[in-house]
A and B are shown apart, each in its own frame.
Chain A
Amino acid sequence: MATRGFTGRPSGGDQSERIPPGQHLVDYFPVLTAGPTPNIEPGDWKFTLKIGPRPVKAWNWAEFNSLPMTKMTRDIHCVTSWSKLNTAWEGVLIDDILADAGVEHPTDFLLAHSFDGYSTNVPLADLASGKAMVALKYEGKAIPRDHGGPARLLVPHLYFWKSAKWVNGLQFTERDEPGFWELRGYHIYGDPWKEQRYSGD
């Protein structure tokens, strides 16, 4: 339905094929978070990999920083409708975390957990094969607190709530267990190209 009198602003031009349906381009970096912004010192930072309830390996900040580093420049898409192109990240691929722990494919699903109690579910297929990382740098610098520093998950091909800020662990689960927003009305998978914003979409 056309809205009377609405013309919209000039489109993203030849970039428009990179913007999923219902999204608009921003050049700044909006912040959306459901609670207070945690303050985590690298000395207090710890990342734990679990299979079900069982911890398999944990890394402190120095240990985690000695894992292989990978750079990734990707477009990101927030469910509140903004998209940002060419965001540059650096961190540890999920593949490299699993390899360091000697874990291959115990189940098909994972939950990412964060220092503030946040969680989000992502299938292994969307984390492995170079698709996702635990990012430690944004645009060449430490990730600002507001954007999830010291470390955040980056799963750029899904809506950005899947890229958990202040991430402190990954947990393999038997089934696809809904996380924080997935329990609060948001889509279980969250593919921006299919506009999977809310459950039922």
Chain B
Amino acid sequence: MIEHTTPIGWQIGTISEIVQRTPSIKSFFLRLAQPFTHVAGQHVDIRLTAPDGYSAMRSYSIASDPSRSDTIELVIENLQGEVSAYFHEVAVAGDEIELRGPLGGHFLWPEHESGPILLIGAGSGVAPFMSMIRHRRSGALTVPTALLLSARTRNDALFAEELISSEDGDPNFVLALAITREAPWRASDFSRRVDEAMIKDVVGRMPSAPSHVFICGSNGFVNVAADGVLASGLAPSVIKTERYGG
């Protein structure tokens, strides 16, 4: 449970680096004026302000490892919308961005020891899971964890290289890619949209049924994945969802 009785104030994050991750997703590394420690799964609110005082606010999950708290990584998909297009088309290293955080008290990596954890994401919805997986890796945590990641093509699979190398050498981490518009990448991957049979298959690769399921992405994707998890016999109470709004 997250409680903050003092307000979480706005601060400045300075863009230190921008990295193109997939054709439509870039990472933005923000150096914080007031470093904080987040719990993997939390987000920040970003506020852009025009010269006439008009401002636009949006939420972005923190993708970086919580133990690296002076600089945070956000991964933003270009939806041609007001804020995502600004980041993709206007922002450059050195720009100062107003933000507040860390925020969110529900979609959180369990602080206490837990049973297996199943993560299901699509598109930029893998952002909070990167923070969790990096946290797990840097803390040498052994809790069995599986990530089912859906992407249109291999090139759209965010952080695929890092995830594949995480899987190599860690018997407790399972990665399954659901590539919807291309042949499967590896024998353990799928070449269709996420469905019930696929979720059952991935759950079957875990030592026991997951005690936590996290699902993140667009609302349509989250509904399909959550229905699949329920159909594979898991209880609604173990499922946490984060819907990116549309």
Q: Which residues of A contact B (CB under 8 A)?
A: 1-9, 11, 22-24, 28, 30-38, 80-82, 116-117, 146, 180-181, 183-186, 198-201
Contact = CB atoms under 8 A, between A and B. Distances in A.
Interface residues of B, number: 49
A198 B8 contact: yes
B76 to A, nearest CB: 14
B227 interface: yes
21 contacts: A1-B12, A1-B96, A3-B98, A5-B95, A8-B82, A34-B107, A35-B236, A35-B240, A36-B226, A80-B59, A81-B45, A81-B58, A117-B237, A181-B105, A181-B106, A184-B104, A185-B105, A186-B105, A200-B4, A200-B7, A201-B7
Contacts of A11: 54
Contacts of B107: 34
Given A32-B245, A35-B241, A2 B50 contact: yes
Contacts of A7: 50-51
Interface in B134-176: none
Contacts of B246: 28, 30-31
B50 A8 contact: yes
Interface string B1-43: 1111111100010000000000000000000000000000000
B243 A8 contact: no
A3 B82 contact: no
Contacts of A183: 1, 105
B224 to A, nearest CB: 11
B187 interface: no
Given A8-B48, A31-B243, A198 B1 contact: no
A24 B82 contact: yes
Nearest to A22: B57
Nearest to B57: A81
Interface in B41-93: 45, 47-52, 54-59, 82, 86, 90-91
Interface of B: 1-8, 12, 45, 47-52, 54-59, 82, 86, 90-91, 95-98, 103-107, 219, 223, 226-227, 229-230, 236-237, 239-241, 243, 245-246
Nearest to A7: B50
A2 B227 CA distance: 43
A116 B237 CA distance: 8
Contact of B241 (A8, A34, A38, A82): A34
A199 B5 contact: yes
Given A35-B240, A36-B230, A6 B7 contact: no
A197 to B, nearest CB: 8
A28 B230 CA distance: 28
A188 to B, nearest CB: 11
B38 to A, nearest CB: 12
A23 B12 CA distance: 20
A161 B97 CA distance: 27
Contacts of B219: 30-32, 146
Given A7-B51, A35-B241, A185 B103 contact: yes
